[in-house]
Amino acid sequence: MTRKLFGTDGIRGRANEEPITPMTALAVAQSAGIEFRRGDHRHTVVIGKDTRLSGYMLEPALTAGFISVGMDVVLLGPLPTPAVGMLARSLRADLGVMISASHNPYQDNGIKLFGPDGYKLSDDVERSIEARLAPEANGALARALAPAERLGNAKRLNDVLGRYIEFVKATFPKHLRLDGLKIVVDCANGAAYRVAPSVLYELGAEVVAVAVEPNGYNINRNCGATAPSAMQAAVVTHGADLGIALDGDADRLILADETGRIVDGDQVMALIAASWSRAGRLKGGGLVSTVMSNLGLEYHMKSLGLDLVRTPVGDRYVVEKMRASGHNIGGEQSGHIVLSDYATTGDGLIAALQVLAVVVESGMRPSRVTQVFTALPQTMRNVRFSGGAPLEQQSVKDAIRDGENVLGDRGRLVIRKSGTEPLIRVMAQGEDSALIDRVVGDICHSIEQSAP
C-alpha cells in the first residue's frame, strides 16, 4: 500500500482543506492511538504545536481522537518540534504529535508523529496507520473505540518550557559560557519564541530577540530560517557577534556571522564534524546528509579523511541512515541538523549551541570560524505545476538526460518533486556557474512547457 496522507515529513496541507481538517485529524489520532496501544497500561500521547491559528482547530480534534481510543493526552502548547521527541521519551509516552507545517506560511499546517523512542515514524508504520482509514478497512476505527469507563483524559503540562530549556542548556559544554557575546535570535514568530531567547540569555549572552510576537498569522512571514535577511540586518544594526534564524517549529536554523554573511546547514555540519572529530567524539567516520548538500562539503570531508553519506531529501531519511550506520551527525543544507548524541530529530537551538561552543573555544570572530569550506556554484529553481506528472513527460526526461550528459563528472544534478507542495525542484552543482545555470534553465523550461 502506498502512502497517500503521509509525505516526507508527516501529513501536510492547507488548513481546513483535506487532509488538514478536524475530521481527518480525529481519524488519524484514532488510528495512531490504536497502532501504539500495546498492553494494559494507561497509554499516553504528548501533543505540541507551533503558533499558527489552525493549531487551535487541530489540537482539540487530535485530543478527541486519542481520548476516544483510551489514550491520555498531555498538551504541551507552543513548543519546538524536537521538544516533542524529547518529551515523548522523558515522559515515557507511547506517542508524540507535533502540529506544525514547519517553514510553510500560516495558511498551511501539518501533523508529525513520533514513536515512544522519540523518533519519527517509519514508512511502514505510517502505512499501517493509513490502512485503518481506507474504505476497505470496513469500520476498523469504530470497532476499536474504548468503552466509556476506559476513555482517556487530557491535561496540560505546566513546566514544559522549563524542562526543554534545561535539556537544551545541558548540551552546551559545562566549562563554557556565552558571556560577552551579543546574539540575534530570529524565532520566526513560531514555536521557539519563548524558549530560544531564554536558553541564550541563561547561558550568559546578550540577546536581541526578533520575530517573537506571534499572532497566529505571522509565523515565517518575512522572518526565520527561510527569510533570514531580517536576522542578517539585525546582526549588523546591533553589532552582534552571531545571528540565529530558526524556522516556525525550530527544527532547522540558518546562521549569520558578525558581518551578516549567511552560514548554511552544510557549513554548520562541517564545523561540528571537524570539532567532534578532533575531540574523538565523531561516530561513523563522517556525517550523513542529503543529495542536496554542496559538492564542496563532500570534497572537504574527503580532505579530512571523513566520509559524506547521502540520502534522499528529508531529515527523516537522514536519521534512518544515521541509526543504521552509527553516525552521530547528519542534516540538510537547509539547516536541519541532527545531533543524535542529544536529540532524535533536527534541533536548531542545539545545533546553534554547538557552533557557539566552537566560536567560544577558538577565541576568534565567527567569520573566521564558520566558513569552513568553499562551496561550489549551486543553482536551484522551483517550478510550480497545476496537474499531471511533469517528470513522466518524455520531453522532460530528455532535458534531464541532456543536462546529465553536459555536466558529466563536472557536477551533479538533482531533480525531485516536493513532498509538501506542487513543485518540482531542480538543482545543479558544479565548477562552472554559467554551465549549471544553463542546465537548470533548460530543464525548468521543459517542465513549464509540459504543463497540461
Q: Which residues are catalytic?
A: 102
| Residue 57 backbone phi and psi in degrees, to 5 | -85, -40
Q: How far apart are CA 292 and CA 303, in angstroms?
A: 20
DSSP 252: -
Cell 518524455, residue located = 394
Contact in structure between 300 and 373 (CB atoms under 8 Å): yes
DSSP 326: T
- Is the bond into 19 cis (omega within 30 degrees of 0)? yes
Bridge-partner residues for 5, per DSSP? none
Q: State the maximum Cα–Cα separation within the chain, in Å, rounded to a whole number.
A: 69
- State the cell numbers at 254: 540558518
| Residue 306 backbone phi and psi in degrees, to 5 | -115, 160
Per DSSP, the three-state class of 27 is: helix
Q: Long-range contacts made by residues 308-316, C-beta under 8 angstroms, separation at least 24?
A: 309/284, 312/416, 313/8, 313/416, 313/419, 314/8, 314/9, 314/290, 314/419, 315/9, 315/251, 315/345, 315/346, 316/8, 316/9, 316/120
> Taking the CB of residue 127, how many other CB atoms lie within 10 A of it?
16
Contact in structure between 24 and 54 (CB atoms under 8 Å): no
DSSP 58: H
Q: Encode burial over 69-92: b for 16+ CB neighbours within 10 A, e otherwise.
A: bbbbbbbbbbbbbbbbbbbbbebe
- Looking from the CA of 149 toward its CB, the CA atoms found within 13 Å total 0
